[in-house]
Amino acid sequence: MKLIIQIPCFNEAKTLSIALSALPRTVPGFDTVEWLIIDDGSQDDTVKVARECGVDHVVRHTRNQGLARGFMTGLDACLRLGADVIVNTDADNQYNADDIPALVAPILEHRADIVVGARPIETIEHFSPIKKMLQKLGSWVVRVASNTDIPDAPSGFRAISRTAAQRLMVFNNYTYTLETIIQAGQKNMAITSVPVRVNEDLRPSRLVKSIPSYIKRSIATIIRIFIIYRPFRFFGTIGAILFGAGFLIGLRFLLNYLSGEGAGHVQSLILAGALLAMGFQAILVAFLADLLAANRKLLEDVRFRLKSGGEADAGLDRTTEHYPRKEH
């Protein structure tokens, strides 16, 4: 059994050595533990630090492509390197690496395909009240969209089985955390969470450049999640609201007209007609979007079959570098 611990990196030379020094080289249940970093177009000494700290593999992007793309690049590289389980963690040492055995335990016990580390959000001092609120909101949206009970959906500390990694595909360029959980729920993967500890904050979050920006991106991410993974519910709800409002306004006009008070209420009739038309169109869009979602699921299944079937003959990507392991 091989475990690969991957770390997406973008200009992480200052903190990467701290994160790597905490990673284990032996984990119960695994014969081999390897480290891999994804250099997402770093312009500092991230790769040099990684090499000096004994990282086994480095995958490079020639330019910065974002956290979500780096995460997926890492999964692909880990699969090609023969990983049975993949652990994803952060380069800023946010998560306590001593909890990795607890994180992978549900996979080793065949109780889960994906395990998410649940942080003690309420006790994290450097999380602002607004960030804590958005974390709760994001987790609630993910639970609704995925039919799972993950309490800390934005957590990037997670363990993923080989089969689950083969099935995941992230469309969002901002973050992978919410979308992967929703995919797991929709694809009937077994997903659970375990409590994990966090370390002292070493640097500000790269995702939260400012509270207004974080709110804007979070809202956009949540809306997009519903459009992609719950299109019928999203557009159907909008259509039902518009159609219902138009129906009630039209019914009011009709009652006034039958009682002889219809004169002077033509505006209500026009508004009712417009709302009914818009509602009907939104419901039609809901059906079309549902068909597109079904087609996407079929394409994802085809991708999984091709990926799992062709792995034996797949070579390593040219952007993957390997370094001899240093004994610590």
What is the domain-level CATH number for residue 7?
3.90.550.10
Question: Do 158 and 272 reside in the same domain of the chain?
Answer: no
Question: Do 180 and 263 reside in the same domain of the chain?
Answer: no
Any domain includes 58: yes
Question: Do 194 and 300 reside in the same domain of the chain?
Answer: no
pLDDT for position 315: 41
pLDDT for position 312: 43
Any domain includes 170: yes
pLDDT in tens, the chain (328 residues): 999 999 999 989 889 999 999 999 999 999 999 999 999 999 999 999 999 999 999 999 989 888 889 999 999 999 999 999 999 999 988 899 999 999 999 999 999 999 999 988 777 776 777 777 777 777 887 787 777 888 888 889 999 999 999 888 887 777 788 888 888 887 889 999 999 998 887 665 655 556 666 667 777 777 777 788 788 988 999 999 999 999 999 888 888 878 877 666 778 888 999 999 999 999 999 999 888 888 877 777 777 777 666 554 444 444 566 665 655 5
Question: Do 99 and 223 reside in the same domain of the chain?
Answer: yes
pLDDT for position 3: 97
Question: Do 207 and 289 reside in the same domain of the chain?
Answer: no
Question: Do 184 and 255 reside in the same domain of the chain?
Answer: no
Any domain includes 143: yes
Q: What is the Cα–Cα distance from 320 to 281, expressed in whole angstroms?
A: 49
Q: What is the Cα–Cα distance from 93 to 234, expressed in whole angstroms?
A: 38
Any domain includes 171: yes
Pairing state of beta strands 191-195 and 32-40? unpaired
Question: Do 102 and 198 reside in the same domain of the chain?
Answer: yes
pTM of the model: 0.75
pLDDT for position 307: 65
The tokens of 149 are what?
């009970």
Q: What is the Cα–Cα distance from 236 to 243, expressed in whole angstroms?
A: 10
Residues in the chain: 328
Q: Is 80 exposed, middle or buried (0-12, 13-18, 19+ CB in 10 A)?
A: middle
Chain-centroid distance, C-alpha 296: 17
Contact between residue 85 and residue 107 where contact means Cβ atoms under 8 Å apart:
yes
Decide: helix, strand or coil at residue 52: helix
Question: Do 41 and 166 reside in the same domain of the chain?
Answer: yes
Q: What is the Cα–Cα distance from 145 to 234, expressed in whole angstroms?
A: 11
Question: Do 223 and 258 reside in the same domain of the chain?
Answer: no
Any domain includes 19: yes
Q: What is the Cα–Cα distance from 155 to 111, expressed in whole angstroms?
A: 20
Question: Do 194 and 237 reside in the same domain of the chain?
Answer: no
How many folded domains does the chain comprise? 2
Contact between residue 176 and residue 170 where contact means Cβ atoms under 8 Å apart:
yes
Question: Do 291 and 220 reside in the same domain of the chain?
Answer: no
Measured N-to-C along each axis, helices 129-146 and 211-229 cross at an angle, to the nearest 10 degrees, of 0
Contact between residue 172 and residue 179 where contact means Cβ atoms under 8 Å apart:
yes
Any domain includes 54: yes
End residue of a domain, out of 182, 209, 229: 229
- Evaluate the CA torsion angle 51, 87, 316, 176 in order and state its sign: negative
> From residue 294, how far is each of 44, 47, 210, 230, 290 by CA, in Å?
44, 41, 37, 11, 6
Question: Do 214 and 247 reside in the same domain of the chain?
Answer: no
The range of the structural domain enclosing residue 277 comes to 231-309
